[in-house]
A and B are shown apart, each in its own frame.
Chain A
Amino acid sequence: MSEEFFIQGNEACARGAIKAGCRFFAGYPITPSTEIAEDLSRLLPKNGGSFIQMEDEISAIGAIIGASWSGLKAMTSTSGPGFSLMQENLGYAQITETPLVIVNVQRGGPSTGQPTMAAQGDLMQVRWGSHGDYEPIALSPSSVQEFFDFTIEAFNLSEKYRVPVVLLADEVIGHMREKIVIDDNIETIKRTAPTEKGEDFLPYKALENGVSKMPAFGDGYKLSITGLTHDERGYPATSNPQDHQKLVKRLCNKILENRDEIARVKLEQWEDADVILISYGSSVRSVIEATFKAREEGIKVGYMKIDTPWPMPEKEVLEVSKIANDLIVVEMNLGQMVHEVERIAKNNANTHLIGKIGGELPNPDEILSKIKELV
């Protein structure tokens, strides 16, 4: 069985959260993400869940970390200014390996910037925003259906790898309405409690995939969870370099070593392409349109739609860089992903940027002109 709806991206995200098993939301109103909080304030009580409007975004992420350790799937949603405030606790979620989902419906920045206009200027903030070393997972939807699907995927990845996952959407996807199909049969990943009982359990001893089992508070494990560098028991271990290296390398490697499992891309018309367009999020819509227009004119253009900007799908980018002469990264900022593509492609292909700021989607005709300049 499935149902169809014609709804906004933000509404689709809220419904996806409920379907994914999210039963706790804490947040703070901010344009253009507010509809997610509004919808969940209505949906959660109808589904045995809790909704809290917090005093700011710092406490919003704090509350969902607490709720995650209580044994619930938890989420918050925000936009640039709120995402900036969340950075410290995002690092806390990384080092304590707390599964949760943060939705960032991007708007124009820096600062208050353009509250009602779309942007993709937070890509590198997701990567480097909190201090210290870590490897983020981020998903970028480019349709309302994907905002729903990726919300579920974000919860699944967060549970599988015990990490915070960022849903990096933008105002265009958040506010536009499209048809979505919601299937009754949706696969969700649930936590398995550790089989070992009691105080001897080591909550930070890695099992398969570098991930350890996640116990809940109140289950007799006498957990010691801290943002300090810690040992396998969870006890602070801050002065020995080896302890820190062991922990932080494991945290990074559990993402890096599973990159192929996590990273998702869609490649179209690339086999014979002279130019390959690379994009993510709502900009993908312009890129696909430009690809069609170019092909109609007989220009060999393909595109790569990156669904997981983090971890970067390095293998795929490298592969296409060996096929096309030119790679054009299309993004709504003054150049962020382009640096990653350049780094991966090296001298295999020339890397170019179409970086559009101001709030409007890149124009397919502008992309086409750039393509024509190159071929």
Chain B
Amino acid sequence: MRTEIRIAGFGGQGVILSGVIIGKAASLFDRINAVQTQSYGPEARGGASRAEVVISDETINYPKVQNPDILVAMSHEALIKYLDGLKENGILIVDPDMIVIDEIKDFVIKNNIRVYYARATAIATEEVGLKIVANIVMIGAITKFTDIVSYDATKDAILVSVPPGTKSKNITAFEAGYALSDDLVNLN
């Protein structure tokens, strides 16, 4: 089955690395197929930035994400910009501290979107003591809330993707994200 995931935020939040790690986890460690693409150009520097991954147990021909099954939004701007593309019954993971959920309530209800909260930035700052690993917290949350990549594979992918001196902080961040509650957010 083909699953499309879009991770969006603002420049500097490490959304591209998140996409790369998910892609590596799927292809190198879960040994299914993955293609990662990203937006380039002025919008990749500041403003909204996005990484996309297609994961499938079959050959991936068309490499681009068209209508994601999963949208991960780490900023309000990114949420608003990319929400429209999310599939009906799709999964939306947001950092509640970074967005205004009321603005998307109608869309969520109308399209039967399953919403999860992941306070990635706050957890990175408070529990790990390193704000820049918010993206890794988010990867933990993605791993927990969805079944696109396995826990072990994602952990391995993080270990081969981050600088050697930062491995333990990143694993702490991943575990913190994975420990989050997977209760659906009720917007009714």
Closest A-chain residue to B52, C-beta based? A176
**In the complex the two chains form, is B62's CB within 8 Å of A177's CB?**
no
CB of A286 within 8 A of chain B? Answer: yes
**In the complex the two chains form, is A176's CB within 8 Å of B37's CB?**
yes
**In the complex the two chains form, is A6's CB within 8 Å of B27's CB?**
yes
Q: Output the least CB separation between A58 and chain B (Å).
A: 26
Q: Output the least CB separation between B60 and chain A (Å).
A: 8
**In the complex the two chains form, is A6's CB within 8 Å of B62's CB?**
no
Residues from 29 to 73 in B contacting A, C-beta threshold 8 Å: 33-38, 40-41, 61-64, 66
User: Contacts A6-B20, A6-B24 hold; do A179 and B34 have CB atoms under 8 A apart?
Assistant: yes
CB of B23 within 8 A of chain A? Answer: yes
B37 to chain A: which residues have CB within 8 Å?
A: 172, 175-177
CB of B28 within 8 A of chain A? Answer: yes
Task: Name the prevailing secondary structure of the B interface residues.
Answer: mixed
Q: In the complex the two chains form, what is the Cα distance from A322 to B151 in whole Å?
A: 53
**In the complex the two chains form, is A177's CB within 8 Å of B61's CB?**
no
B62 to chain A: which residues have CB within 8 Å?
A: 285-286, 289, 361, 364
**In the complex the two chains form, is B35's CB within 8 Å of A178's CB?**
yes
Q: Output the least CB separation between B119 and chain A (Å).
A: 29
**In the complex the two chains form, is A178's CB within 8 Å of B34's CB?**
yes
Contact with A along B99-138 (1 / 0, CB 8 A): 0000000000000000000000000000000000000000
B66 to chain A: which residues have CB within 8 Å?
A: 363
**In the complex the two chains form, is A285's CB within 8 Å of B28's CB?**
no
**In the complex the two chains form, is B23's CB within 8 Å of A6's CB?**
yes
Residues from 62 to 91 in B contacting A, C-beta threshold 8 Å: 62-64, 66
Q: How large is the interface on B (under 10, 10 to 19, 20 to 34, 35 or more residues)?
A: 10 to 19
A177 to chain B: which residues have CB within 8 Å?
A: 20, 23, 35-37
**In the complex the two chains form, is B40's CB within 8 Å of A4's CB?**
no
CB of A288 within 8 A of chain B? Answer: yes
Contact among B27, B33, B40, B61 for A175, CB-based, below 8 A:
B40
**In the complex the two chains form, is B34's CB within 8 Å of A116's CB?**
no
B28 to chain A: which residues have CB within 8 Å?
A: 4-6, 179
Contact among A175, A178, A360 for B38, CB-based, below 8 A:
A175
Q: Output the least CB separation between A114 and chain B (Å).
A: 9
A292 to chain B: which residues have CB within 8 Å?
A: 61
**In the complex the two chains form, is A115's CB within 8 Å of B41's CB?**
yes
Q: In the complex the two chains form, what is the Cα distance from A31 to B44 in whole Å?
A: 14
Residues from 339 to 375 in A contacting B, C-beta threshold 8 Å: 360-361, 363-364
CB of A203 within 8 A of chain B? Answer: no
Q: In the complex the two chains form, what is the Cα distance from A6 to B36 in whole Å?
A: 9
B33 to chain A: which residues have CB within 8 Å?
A: 179
Closest B-chain residue to A287, C-beta based? B61
**In the complex the two chains form, is A176's CB within 8 Å of B41's CB?**
no
Q: In the complex the two chains form, what is the Cα distance from A117 to B23 in whole Å?
A: 22
Q: In the complex the two chains form, what is the Cα distance from A292 to B61 in whole Å?
A: 10
Contact with B along A170-186 (1 / 0, CB 8 A): 01100111110000000
Q: In the complex the two chains form, what is the Cα distance from A288 to B20 in whole Å?
A: 25
Contact with B along A100-119 (1 / 0, CB 8 A): 00000000000000011100
Q: In the complex the two chains form, what is the Cα distance from A274 to B16 in whole Å?
A: 42
CB of A32 within 8 A of chain B? Answer: yes
A6 to chain B: which residues have CB within 8 Å?
A: 20, 23-24, 27-28, 34, 36
Residues from 150 to 180 in A contacting B, C-beta threshold 8 Å: 171-172, 175-179
Contact among B27, B40, B41, B64 for A178, CB-based, below 8 A:
B27
Q: In the complex the two chains form, what is the Cα distance from A179 to B33 in whole Å?
A: 8
Q: Output the least CB separation between A35 and chain B (Å).
A: 11
User: Contacts A285-B61, A289-B62 hold; do A32 and B40 have CB atoms under 8 A apart?
Assistant: yes
Provide a sorted-by-A list of 18 A–B residue pairs whose CB atoms are within 8 angstroms: A6-B23, A6-B24, A31-B40, A32-B40, A115-B41, A116-B40, A172-B37, A175-B40, A176-B37, A177-B36, A178-B27, A178-B36, A282-B63, A285-B62, A286-B61, A288-B61, A364-B61, A364-B62
Beyond the given A285-B63, A361-B64, could you list 11 further A-B residue pairs with CB under 8 A, ordered by the A residue number? A6-B20, A6-B28, A172-B63, A175-B37, A177-B20, A178-B27, A179-B34, A282-B63, A285-B61, A286-B62, A288-B61
Chain B residues at the A interface, C-beta cutoff of 8 Å? 20, 23-24, 27-28, 33-38, 40-41, 61-64, 66
The 8 closest A-B pairs by CB, nearest first: A116-B41, A116-B40, A177-B36, A179-B27, A289-B61, A289-B62, A288-B61, A6-B24
